[in-house]
Amino acid sequence: MKALLSFTSDFLRNHVQLVLNAHNVPTQSIDSQLLQSEFFQAANADFIITDEFNVPNILNNNNLSSCKILVISGEAQTNASIYIEMLKNVDGVIHQDFSDETLIQAMEEISKGMAFICPRIASSLKTYFQYQKNRFSHLSERELEVVKLLARGERYATIAELLNMSINTVRFHVKNIYRKHNIHNKTVLSRYFHDLVYNHTASFKPIYTEV
């Protein structure tokens, strides 16, 4: 097992390198700009470990995703929506305050085909999803279908056709949604629900949570 290290933080890179060397895992430092080059292809690594959130996008955009990707997150990346987006393209995320055992465990689990997320970040995501669930819990199933289409910018006539209902029924559901959220026009409603709808329904890889 070989790991490429692409870091903006010298401290983190050196820490990871020391841990992996102690466990007889070969490492090689690489600038993220070289991930699109023949140098990356020739490195023949099993892992890329990085603190750069753009690395997964570089790899996926250039069809270079054969390596497993483990991101080490710093304090600046604590927004749950960032993690949700990132988890679509990576195999694991751990916090920068990781223990040696956590790093090795993450790599072992990822090598087995599982995804890995450390408890600190998992807790942040759990809180986020509970919040999202509560925001939607008082909408009926039909109202939720309507609001998803409204947030996508669909017109009432299109919503009626897609959901096989009359325009008056669409208006009825929208009126109830307005009342429940104290919203008074479609523009505000679309803006209010857009992130909630698309983050709430976002799909990403299964997560293995360390215990």
> In the prediction, which pLDDT does 156 show?
92
* pLDDT at site 20: 95
**Domain final residue, candidates 106, 129, 152:** 129
Task: Please say which residue of 78, 107, 129 terminates a domain.
Answer: 129
Local mean pLDDT, 10-residue blocks, the chain (211 residues): 87 93 90 61 77 66 67 65 66 89 92 86 75 72 86 88 94 88 74 58 38 34
* Count of domains forming the chain: 2
SS3 track for 87-143: CCCCCEEEECCCCHHHHHHHHHHHHCCCCEECHHHHHHHHHHHHHHHHHHCCCCHHH
Do residue 143 and residue 75 come from a single domain?
Answer: no
Q: Is the pTM of this model over 0.85?
A: no
- Domain with 178, as residue range(s), is 138-200
